[in-house]
Structure 1
Amino acid sequence: MESILGWIADNQQMIYIVILMIFVGIEVIGHVPSVLHTPLMSGANAIHGVVIIGAIIVMGKADPHNYVALILGFLAVVVGTLNVVGGFVVTDRMLEMFKGKGKKQNTSSK
């Protein structure tokens, strides 16, 4: 318990910055107009692609006996991949909403 409290005391400023980043991120994302959502989603997908590459590099350079680094790297790859794929699915669905409704093909007439 003392080691946890010591770690918190040593990294108190970093913890405050992370909490502040969470609140600022929620405010920024909450005020994004829906027109800008699709371009921002594409940018987020590109950023998460970089996260996936970084996690693969970290896993490749980690000591084979450092299980914490390997597990965290693997989780970063899995979650980043899910985020990228989910982002593309959401973007595709949003773009489908903006496509014009074409003429339906009539297959019954001859």
Structure 2
Amino acid sequence: MSLIAELYIFVLAVLAGFQVIAKVPSILHTPLMSATNAIHGIILIGALAAAFAVHGTASLVIALLAVFFSSINLVGGFVVTDRILAMFRSEQEAGRSS
């Protein structure tokens, strides 16, 4: 596939993703974050599998960077989801969980 075709697909995916996320009601953002965390977990497993299967230093560095950034994205997603859920907890529930 040519570079132009790949860029075209990438731009279409970005625009479609933006349109889908922009139309999600505020009440559904927490479940959406949880679903994307599950997807990032799958991406992390794929990055780990790729890191073990590569041959060559450059490929290994790229695979390890993918593992690193995927881990940051996964942990950050769980932190944000926890903060969103904390906004919906009542004062009594917050006192029991501390």
Q: Aligned partners of 2:25 and 2:87: how far apart in 1?
A: 16
Q: Which runs of 5+ in 1 are unaligned?
A: 1-8, 106-110
Structure in which a larger fraction of residues adopt helix: 2
Matches within 5 A, 1:1-110: 10-63=2-55, 66-102=56-92
| Counterpart-to-counterpart distance in 2, 1:35 and 1:71 | 40
TM-score of the superposition, structure 2-length normalised?
0.85
TM-superposed CA distance for 1:102, in Å, is 1.8
Q: Following superposition, which runs of at least 4 residues in structure 1 exceed 6 angstroms of deviation?
A: none
TM-score, normalisation: structure 1:
0.77
Distance in 2, matches of 1:97 and 1:78, equals 29
Write out per-residue CA displacement over residues 29-68 of structure 1, whole angstroms, 9 at most, x where no aligned residue.
Answer: 12211111111111111111111111111110111xx223
Task: Kindly name which structure, 1 or 2, has the bigger radius of gyration based on alpha carbons.
Answer: 1
